[in-house]
Structure 1
Amino acid sequence: MSRNVGGIDKILRILIGIALIVLALTGTIGVWGWIGVLPLATGLFNFCPAYKLIGFTTCKTK
């Protein structure tokens, strides 16, 4: 797995993931809030399978 998530994209994924999980835990948006695990994981691991499929990256090239 090579990195394909970086910078602002990573921060936004982590924040959105945490927000969705918190909303699910408080019962505000129900079970669908657990979908926040996906953006949280992709942000933490710096890898997005969807980006890999389309050949896209937000990481800076070296």
Structure 2
Amino acid sequence: MTKNMGSADRVIRVIIGLVLLSLVFVGPQTPWGWIGIIPLVTAAIGVCPLYSIIGIKTCPTKRS
């Protein structure tokens, strides 16, 4: 799998993932917060399966 996420996209996903996970432990304590694992994992590996399907690539292109 080739990386298809840029740095800004990864940082935003980490923030969103942490906010969603905080819902499990703090605040309304809803189990829906476990969905925050998905953006954290995609940010960690740098690949978004949905981006691959749609054809979006936010990482900078390498020049040869």
Q: TM-score, normalised by structure 1?
A: 0.90
Identity %: 44
- 2:50 corresponds to: 50
CA deviation profile, 1:9-44 (whole Å, cap 9, x unmatched): 100001110111112122525011110000111111
Instruction: Determine helix, strand or coil for the equivalent of 1:11.
Output: helix
Q: How far apart in 2 are the matches of 1:59 and 1:5? A: 5
Give the aligned residue type for 2:15.
L
Looking at structure 2, the residues matched to 52 and 2 of structure 1 have their Cα atoms a distance apart, in angstroms, of 9
Question: How many correspondences in the alignment?
Answer: 62
Deviation at 1:6, TM superposition (A): 1.2
2:22 alignment partner in structure 1: 22
Structure 1: runs of 5 or more not aligned? none
Distance 1:19 1:50 in 2: 21
Determine the C-alpha separation between the residues in 1 that align with 2:29 and 2:12: 19
3-state DSSP of counterpart to 2:24: helix
